[in-house]
Amino acid sequence: MKKRFRIQLSEKGDLMEYKEDDYLMLSGIQHFKFCRRQWALIHIEQQWAENVHTVIGELMHKKVHDPMSKEKRKDTIIVRALPIASRKMGISGECDVVEFHKCEDGISLFGHRGLYSVFPVEYKKGKPKITEEDKLQLTAQAMCLEEMFSTVVTEGALFYGETRRREVVAITEELRCQVKEMFQEMHQYYERCYTPKVKWSKRCNGCSLKDICLPKLGKAISVKDYMNQVLLEEEV
């Protein structure tokens, strides 16, 4: 059954916001950037399979997440497992950690004196990637926090389990544009219930869905080509 999104429009007909029932998972942007077919299999067709990478990732997040716990270290307030959402992008999710740093020009927090800047931290297994999946997810979190707290988030951090170090990431306009465009595309796929065709690449070897997706079938020759090949071999 085709889904229809209920969205609010301005008087000029511009998109204003999505309804909560139509929110997509923020974390899905990682899957979408990695492979659009993988994202569709998980989020549209509800297919999922665990491998060693997904299990390690889940264990790492469980260590970080103590639902909505909060602590204060000097001039920094640390909140874990903070629920976030964006009506403009139609997404919702959860921040592993959000640090509120006391500053001269920031936002006020209920029950705390002074002003604070907002700094999201996303925890990842492994080590920093060459590709931008992690940065895009962090940027999406920053954009949600900006919308929720009416502030500007200029940077955040990615913490990698293998290196045990933070990598500070600037929330650039280029990353923001990519995030907006990708979520728009994801909503279009979801509305159409569209799953892209298989396209094999080296990345498929480490995918938890390779036994469901069967990517190597995409490399198989057609029946017509196969028959022609057999006939040629017989003639020889």
Residue 138 confidence (pLDDT): 98
Q: What is the mean pLDDT of residues 15-42?
A: 91
pLDDT category, 205, cuts 50, 70, 90?
confident
Q: What is the mean pLDDT of residues 83-89?
A: 97
Question: Has residue 141 got a pLDDT over 70?
Answer: yes
Residue 227 confidence (pLDDT): 55
119, two tokens: 């700094």
Q: What is the mean pLDDT of residues 155-179?
A: 96
Question: Has residue 136 got a pLDDT over 90?
Answer: yes
Whether this prediction's pTM lies above 0.85 is answered by: no
Note the CATH number of domain 7-196: 3.90.320.10
Domain extents for the chain?
7-196, 198-236
Pairing state between β 70-73 and 24-25: unpaired
